[in-house]
């Protein structure tokens, strides 16, 4: 049977120091990159919503035509 591995416990101060050190290693995006990515996501979401709307309308029209409703 496998033995349980005990994790070393650290205090809250040590934990937050480690979190801060790891956060400092992260390469954060610039404000401009964030704005560009946000605009891209919004535009793509609108285009996808329009595509789904049109597909729904066409399928609905087709079903009504076939069933005679």
Confidence tier at 64 by pLDDT (50, 70, 90): very high
Residues shown for the chain: 69
Closest by CA to 65, choosing from 57, 51, 53, is: 57
Please state the domain extents for the chain.
12-67
φ, ψ at 16 (rounded to 5°):
-65, -30
Cβ neighbours of residue 10 closer than 8 Å, sequence gap 6 or more: 18
The pLDDT value given to residue 39: 98
Q: Report the C-alpha dihedral over residues 49, 52, 54, 60, rounded to 10 degrees.
A: -140
First to last CA, the chain: 67
Q: Is the pTM of this model over 0.85?
A: no
pLDDT tens profile 6-60 = 778 888 999 999 999 999 999 989 999 999 999 999 999 999 999 999 999 999 9
Q: 1 pLDDT exceeds 80?
A: no
């Amino acid at each position: 049977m496998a033995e349980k591995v005990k994790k070393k416990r650290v205090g809250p101060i040590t934990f937050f120091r480690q979190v801060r050190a790891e956060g400092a290693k992260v390469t954060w995006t610039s404000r401009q990159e964030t704005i560009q990515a946000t605009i891209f996501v919004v535009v793509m979401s609108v285009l996808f919503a329009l595509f789904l709307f049109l597909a729904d309308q066409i399928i609905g029209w087709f079903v009504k035509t076939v069933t005679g409703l």
